Structure 1
């Protein structure tokens, strides 16, 4: 399963932590059109939902592959299905009507927003637009009248689904196109760090030790799944390497100062480690590590400030040199049929 943030809201917690790129934080209100990518048609709420859903599906698919391929390297594992679920109650007012009409969402009931290819959810035949009514005979709660955008109701239903999947599978009652059907949803063991898309015009990605976040603007800027895997693999590496917990322990007043409370050379070391390990994670999932160099060149052309050394982050040039060296290292191992162990 995957969870997504309130549409129209980006959590302020993203302003602290181990971030690949951080150009600001948006805390409330509808996000501007450039949050959906320069080529997206976003004239109406429905256009915006479609653009977000396309990005959600990509992040969900790449995240699922990374999670399954690297389970043996992850300190935290659990059952994952390849499902991305959402609910009417999590959408802001300006998107809610379109979400309800397009996906037949009702209150807090979980609806299928995306299904990762080659996942248990795909094997079960679940489709975008399905509405989940119960799991193992226990109904999901619809909740009361929908007010402000919130996640608590859906979160409770996701917990019920997780309980049903505890033994590896769950029988779901599903509503599809006005009909009800029963499907059996299985799961596989994967890295238990959900991947989340946050609607924002800012360019950032973050691993906070619990989840992996990426802004919609950065996801839209990553044209190939191989490019997206470079970013998501980097943030997953931060979580696998437990960098957040380490810096919380050694940082000076990090809860107040964020990364400014940590020695910059320590942050640089962590970024280099995450670049190296993240590219291995990406390659282990079948993505092309040779895309890392061209992707970072493209990114630094879009964000010229990345060409310079920043607080706690190497310059883009240094990162490109390191990543291209790691890509060559991986290519040698692949040619020799050796396992990819970072």
Structure 2
């Protein structure tokens, strides 16, 4: 007769214990405006920004020479490249601006974050920390329009008549509190930028104005040569106007869809009727772009093979029933042989119309 009562007492004790633990957990769990939480959030944002800027600098070192050496393939979609990364607080999302101001010492004026060592172009007299006050006779007032104004000057300079592959722009910068006049050399480049983003998917895509590269892809390709092959492929999508015919041409989805016969199983980043042809064209021109930039493309097809195996090769049955990827790798090997033969002859690294996919 006492057993039910004992069970009830035990149950009450258990409930009391749970309530006590809940109360403890509530006491330990801080609110979002807790000073320790605010401090930790700021630290994490700073660390993330610092990591992203490290990746961005590596990306610039690979991408900017490719953009400069590929101008011939980008038709009229070009701009002047100063060989420097210039940004302001408006270059960042709202939640990152406080960290950008503290870590990168940015405000709402165009500021040089770093310059590049370019063996095939004149060294820039710009220095990290220089604030651009004017360029090409155009003032760059502080604010969210300053970077747009700078872009406008760089595009206009590249399209000046008569068209040249390089030139000079007079500029005034604020350096160490002093106004300094500089003559900036520029090189005509494809009118694209390459942007690193912190994302775990091994992917990159061309959105029509910039090539976005995920941090996971940069980790997957620690060798700059392999990263250059990826960037050449993505830039080729833009030069061939593929992006205007699809919403976004991404490496992972595009490569998978091409390997799967354009079934769309990799998502709809590429429309099925175009994916295989677009990817083949980007493979072909992209290898030329990478080679023209001075990178060794020997064995480049193996880079793609490793990427494909990692991203799609684990899908049961895909490699057995869809041989499209094998055809692409063979086509790449033949393209590489074509480029190597031209190099040996000293011929221009220009795609053959008859060989175009």
TM-score by length of structure 1 reads: 0.69
Per-residue deviation at 1:338? 2.5
Q: Report the counterpart of residue 323 of structure 1 in structure 2.
A: 332
Q: Report the counterpart of residue 57 of structure 1 in structure 2.
A: 57
User: CA offsets per residue over residues 74-94 of structure 1, 9 Å max, x none?
Assistant: 212332222222112333455
Is the partner of 1:289 in helix, strand or coil? coil
Q: Report the counterpart of residue 334 of structure 1 in structure 2.
A: 343
User: CA offsets per residue over residues 22-80 of structure 1, 9 Å max, x none?
Assistant: xxxxxxxxxxxxxxxxxxxxx74343333222222232232222222222222123322
Q: Report the counterpart of residue 241 of structure 1 in structure 2.
A: 240
Q: Report the counterpart of residue 5 of structure 1 in structure 2.
A: none
Q: Report the counterpart of residue 101 of structure 2 in structure 1.
A: 100
Give unmatched runs, 5+ long, in structure 2.
Answer: 1-42, 161-166, 248-266, 352-357
Partners of 2:118 and 2:199 in 1: how far apart? Answer: 29
Task: Judge conservation of contact 2:205–2:234 (CA < 8 Å) in 1.
Answer: yes
Aligned-pair Cα RMSD in Å: 3.5
Q: Report the counterpart of residue 289 of structure 2 in structure 1.
A: 281
Q: Report the counterpart of residue 39 of structure 1 in structure 2.
A: none
Is the partner of 1:243 in helix, strand or coil? coil
Per-residue deviation at 1:316? 4.9
Q: Report the counterpart of residue 205 of structure 1 in structure 2.
A: 204
TM-score by length of structure 2 reads: 0.66
The 3 A distance-change label for structure 1 pair 100 and 161 is: farther
Q: Report the counterpart of residue 35 of structure 2 in structure 1.
A: none
The 3 A distance-change label for structure 1 pair 177 and 291 is: farther
Larger radius of gyration: 2
Aligned pairs for 1:1-342 within 5 A: 44-76=44-76, 77-92=78-93, 95-107=96-108, 109-118=109-118, 123-136=123-136, 138-143=138-143, 154-159=147-152, 168-246=167-245, 260=268, 264-304=272-312, 316-342=325-351
Per-residue deviation at 1:280? 1.3
Partners of 1:56 and 1:328 in 2: how far apart? Answer: 32
Per-residue deviation at 1:272? 1.1
Task: Judge conservation of contact 1:170–1:186 (CA < 8 Å) in 2.
Answer: yes
Give unmatched runs, 5+ long, in structure 1.
Answer: 1-42, 144-150, 249-258
Aligned residues: 282
Per-residue deviation at 1:232? 0.9
Per-residue deviation at 1:230? 0.9
Per-residue deviation at 1:231? 0.9
The 3 A distance-change label for structure 1 pair 102 and 209 is: closer
